[in-house]
Amino acid sequence: MSIEMKTKFGQIDISNEVIATIAGGAAVDCYGIIGMASKNQLKDGLTEILRRENFTRGVIVRQENEEVHIDMYIIVSYGTKISEVAHNVQSKVKYTLDKTVGLAVDSVNIFVQGVRVINP
């Protein structure tokens, strides 16, 4: 499945995997994020931190009636305010997708899968 955008020059199809990779990259750059987690905890291992090439396993892109919704599964750093980290991720993902792809995202839903202590 892909997102279709029409421009004056023609049509652009962007796959959900590309959108998920961009969204995951924007999320892990936020302060307080340890990494992305898999949406299938039981199958993939409990709160496994995903590498950059596997961000699509922790991000779901849905398109419903011309609206784009993104579900993100993250692991946050111990000692940070979870609500503030989630709000920062939502803002950064929306901004990044708007500026890089020109895609207006209607909602970014954050699911915190775990809290980890950062080892110095």
- Which structural domain range is residue 42 located in? 2-116
pLDDT at 82 over 90: yes
Distance, in Å, from the CA atom of 102 to the CA atom of 104, rounded to the nearest integer, reads 7
CB 78 within 8 Å of CB 117: yes
Give the total number of structural domains in the chain.
1
Residues 40-62 have pLDDT tens digits of 654 544 455 655 556 677 889 99
Average pLDDT, the chain: 84
What percentage of residues in the chain have a pLDDT greater than 90? Answer: 38
| Pick from 18-22, 54-58, 114-118: least confident | 54-58
What percentage of residues in the chain have a pLDDT greater than 70? Answer: 84
Residue 44's pLDDT is: 45
What's the CATH code of the domain at 97?
A: 3.30.70.1350
Non-local CB neighbours of 40 within 8 Å, separated by 6+ positions: 57
